[in-house]
Amino acid sequence: MEEIYINVKPVHPEPSTNHTGLRQCFVATIVCLGLLSVFLLVGLITLVFLYHHSAREAAAEFSAIKNNLTEERDRLNANLTAKIEELDRLQTLCKQNHHSAHEAAAEFSAIKNNLTERLQDSDDKLSSMTEERDRLNANLTAKIEEALARLQTLYKQKRTCPSGWTWFGCTCYLVSSKSGSWDEGREDCRVQGADLVVINTELHYITKSICSPNQMIRIRCPNHLATGV
């Protein structure tokens, strides 16, 4: 069998206009997608950078806030501790003041009761003294009235003295010419129902008027009762 060789030229189809447009569109799409990917990558990197930057700033701010809150907490704890200590001190002081006030009230009550008792005793003593004064005034009035009555009675009596006696006031006097001791003179006066005169300022005028030096004076009352002056 004979081989028949035929020169065959490859047939290359001519590119059509439609295929060229599709290729260009495809290339443009790929380029756009590449650019979009680049933009997305840049945006993602930017977002990551911004996130890390914001995270660092937020961490720093959070740390500052935490430190501030810690300091504020410590300050509040210190203030609270100081307030608690002040409250304890005030409670202790209040208890002491209450105890002192209670003691002062008890002492004041005791003083008041003591003063009340003393006042009552003073009132009782004053009442007793008032009664005693009234009684003494009554007795004194009675004595004065009695003395006045006696004086009036004596004044109304007849003013007569024994022979040789001298009347002066409401009394009879006798100037004796006898001499002797005091006891002898007094005994002689008593025998006559009289008594020796004791010279005082009231009888100074009498001694100068009715007697001479070294003479004794006997005194005799009008009712003949011996009395001493």
189: CB partners within 8 A, 6+ apart? 195, 196, 216, 218, 219, 226
Taking only the tens of pLDDT, the chain with its 229 residues reads 444 444 544 444 444 455 677 778 888 888 888 888 888 898 889 988 888 888 888 888 888 898 989 999 999 999 999 999 999 999 888 888 877 878 888 888 889 888 888 888 888 888 888 888 888 888 888 888 888 887 777 666 555 677 777 777 667 777 777 777 888 888 888 888 787 776 654 455 455 555 555 555 554 444 433 333 3
**Pseudo-torsion of CA 77, 81, 83, 87, nearest 10°?**
150
Task: Please tell me the distance from the alpha carbon of residue 168 to that of residue 209, in angstroms, as a whole number.
Answer: 11
Confidence at residue 78, expressed as pLDDT on a 0 to 100 scale: 92
**pLDDT digits over 165-221, tens only?**
777 766 777 777 777 788 888 888 888 878 777 665 445 545 555 555 555 555 444
Q: Percent helix, strand and coil across the chain, each rounded to 5?
A: 70, 5, 25
Task: Please tell me the distance from the alpha carbon of residue 171 to that of residue 176, in angstroms, as a whole number.
Answer: 16
175 beta partners? 217
Q: Is the dihedral of CA 47, 49, 50, 54 positive or negative?
A: positive
DSSP codes, 19-67: HHHHHHHHHHHHHHHHHHHHHHHHHHHHHHHHHHHHHHHHHHHHHHHHH
Confidence at residue 81, expressed as pLDDT on a 0 to 100 scale: 92
The domain ranges of the chain are: 20-122, 162-220
The pTM for the full model equals: 0.30
CA atoms within 13 A on the CB side of 46: 6
Task: Please tell me the distance from the alpha carbon of residue 191 to that of residue 21, in angstroms, as a whole number.
Answer: 196
User: Please, what CATH class does the domain formed by 162-220 belong to?
Assistant: alpha beta
Task: Please tell me the distance from the alpha carbon of residue 215 to that of residue 220, in angstroms, as a whole number.
Answer: 16
Task: Please tell me the distance from the alpha carbon of residue 149 to that of residue 127, in angstroms, as a whole number.
Answer: 32
Note the helical H segments in 157-220: 182-191, 204-210
